[in-house]
Amino acid sequence: MVDLDAAFDAVNTSKTGKITASEVQAALALANLPFTLQTCALAVRLHDVDDDGCITRGEFGALHSSLDGLNTAFGEVSGAGPGASDDAPGLDLEKTEAALKKVDIELDRPALVAAFNAFDPSRDGKLCASEFIGLALFLRAAKAAFRAFDSVRPGERGGRERERKRERERRLSRSTKIQ
């Protein structure tokens, strides 16, 4: 079991009590997971509950759990085991799909192919651990963004029917005001 307080203190090299994207990047690089600053900033934004641009001690557990879960999924599917680094065998498209499913991310085939290709900068048909984790973080952020603006919530039972009913009620209320 990981001592989250000790891990937080190790990552918080500035000793401010808040972890920046740069500190996350430096810590992950030590584990041979060379993330871009952009990917680290995305990870911070996804777990920054108080929206201050940093990870507090209270938010750190969710960030750690998320990254650990993504790394574990990669390690299980690649055969590298837990704690996989970029030295581990990469995932091809089918294995990437399997690893994404382990973390509850499912895409239709065209979207999967497009996302896979976008995160395969070397165009070798394989994603290393940091590329896979970057892809999964991007997909989680996209899902959160769409969910924030989706008033119908198509995943909810009866969501479309409720929206149609509301629209009918709005039209009815407008027509009764005009009369």
Which residues are 55's β-sheet partners? 19
Mean pLDDT along residues 150-164: 60
**In this predicted model, what pLDDT tens digit does every residue of 22-79 receive, in sequence order?**
999 999 988 888 999 999 999 999 999 999 999 999 999 999 999 999 999 999 999 9
N-term to C-term CA, the chain: 69
- In the numeric block, the tokens 């989250």 are attached to 4
Q: pTM of the entire structure?
A: 0.80
Q: What are the Cα distances from residue 148, in Å, to 32, 40, 142, 145, 165?
A: 34, 22, 10, 5, 21
* CB-based contact 107:99 (threshold 8 Å): no
Domains defined along the chain, listed by start: 4-149 (1.10.238.10)
Q: Which of 38, 37, 46 is nearest to 70 (CA)?
A: 46
What band does 1 get if pLDDT is binned at 50, 70 and 90? Answer: low
CA separation for the pair 158, 141 (Å, rounded) = 25
Cα separation of 101 and 95, whole Å? 10
Helix/strand/coil percent split, the chain, to 5:
65, 5, 35
pLDDT value at position 70?
A: 95
